[in-house]
Amino acid sequence: MDDEVFRALADPSRRQLLDMLNARNGQTLGELCAGLDMARQSVSKHLAVLEAANLVTTVWRGREKLHHVNAEPINAIADRWINRYDRRRVELFADLKTALEAETMSDNDFVYTTYIKTTPERLWQALTDPKFTEQYWHVQHETDWKVGSEMVWHLGDVAMAGPGQVVLEHDPYTRLSFTWHHITPEFAKAVEMDDDLYQKTSREPLSKATFELEPVDDQVKLTVIHTGFEPGSAIRAMIEDGWTRLISDLKSFAETSPELAAG
């Protein structure tokens, strides 16, 4: 995968596409073509290369296919190889990693794709079984996972519940979606949130977290989509680094846990 990333980034047109998506994430093919002096077919081919390298991930909104930059490959390269690069390359990847992770003003959605060497069934277990979520997420979800059912989030001795905090979609081994939890006084205290931040986050509407699973050879392509943020959302700013770390922990857990494999 590293070789695919390097090859994808070597082309200036593909770097331009990433720049355009970083400036305004979630664009259609037509919107990207309008900003380039390039044939639609050429743009499609460049996007296919970027998607194959996992630098771009796509999400359907109704009949529209939206393209998002994906920071996961740059994170992986930085984590595995950064100490082997000379200073110039270190600076290059640091700048690119920052650019790909930057929140844009025009699109507050968080979209992140990674590949996990496991099966859809095991990954689904890791996402839904509280004995497993406790191990890498440090939370447990209390629910029967039926669409519309209430979800109670447990963080240690703290429970988070409230109106609208429910399961939205439950399609085993394929798609899971639920509303992101209420910010309660107990939760704010548990994570040492100051009063100003608590007041702001507790007034925000519930957002939506979605997990899409797709088998690819001996791996599972996992796309996490978090949507529904207001402009200037404090929660949106908080989840950026949190999701990246959580997905990395989930990947490590799903690929190495003997207990999960046995289940």
The pLDDT score that the predictor gives to residue 262 is 57
The pLDDT score that the predictor gives to residue 72 is 78
Q: Higher pLDDT residue, 221 or 38?
A: 221
The pLDDT score that the predictor gives to residue 167 is 97
- Parallel, antiparallel or unpaired: strands 110-116 and 167-171: unpaired
Tens digit of each residue's pLDDT (9 = 90 or more) over 170-182: 999 999 999 999 9
Tens digit of each residue's pLDDT (9 = 90 or more) over 155-170: 999 999 999 999 999 9
Average pLDDT over the chain reads: 86
Residue type present at position 221: K
| Predicted confidence band of residue 88 (pLDDT cuts 50, 70, 90) | very low
| Predicted confidence band of residue 96 (pLDDT cuts 50, 70, 90) | low
Q: Higher pLDDT residue, 213 or 93?
A: 213
Q: Is pLDDT of 115 > 50?
A: yes
**215-248: b (≥16 Cβ within 10 Å) or e:** eeeebbbbbbbbbbbeeebbbbeebeeebbebbb
Q: Higher pLDDT residue, 214 or 83?
A: 214
The SS3 assignment for 47 reads: helix
**CA triple 240-190-161, angle to 5 deg:** 80
The pLDDT score that the predictor gives to residue 87 is 46
The pLDDT score that the predictor gives to residue 6 is 82
The pLDDT score that the predictor gives to residue 108 is 81
Q: What are phi and psi of 126, to 5 degrees?
A: -65, -30
Q: Is pLDDT of 56 > 70?
A: yes
Positive or negative, the CA dihedral 71, 77, 83, 86 is negative
Tens digit of each residue's pLDDT (9 = 90 or more) over 179-233: 999 999 999 999 899 999 999 999 999 999 999 999 999 999 999 999 999 988 9
- Contact present, 123 and 222 (Cβ < 8 Å): yes
Tens digit of each residue's pLDDT (9 = 90 or more) over 7-32: 888 888 888 888 888 888 888 998 89
The pLDDT score that the predictor gives to residue 148 is 95
Within a 10 A sphere around the Cβ of 64, how many other Cβ atoms?
13
pTM: 0.72
| Distance linking the first and last C-alpha atoms of the chain | 29
Q: Give the C-alpha distances (Å, rounded to integers) separating 99 from 93, 102, 151.
A: 10, 5, 35
Alpha-carbon distance of 65 to 48, in angstroms, equals 13
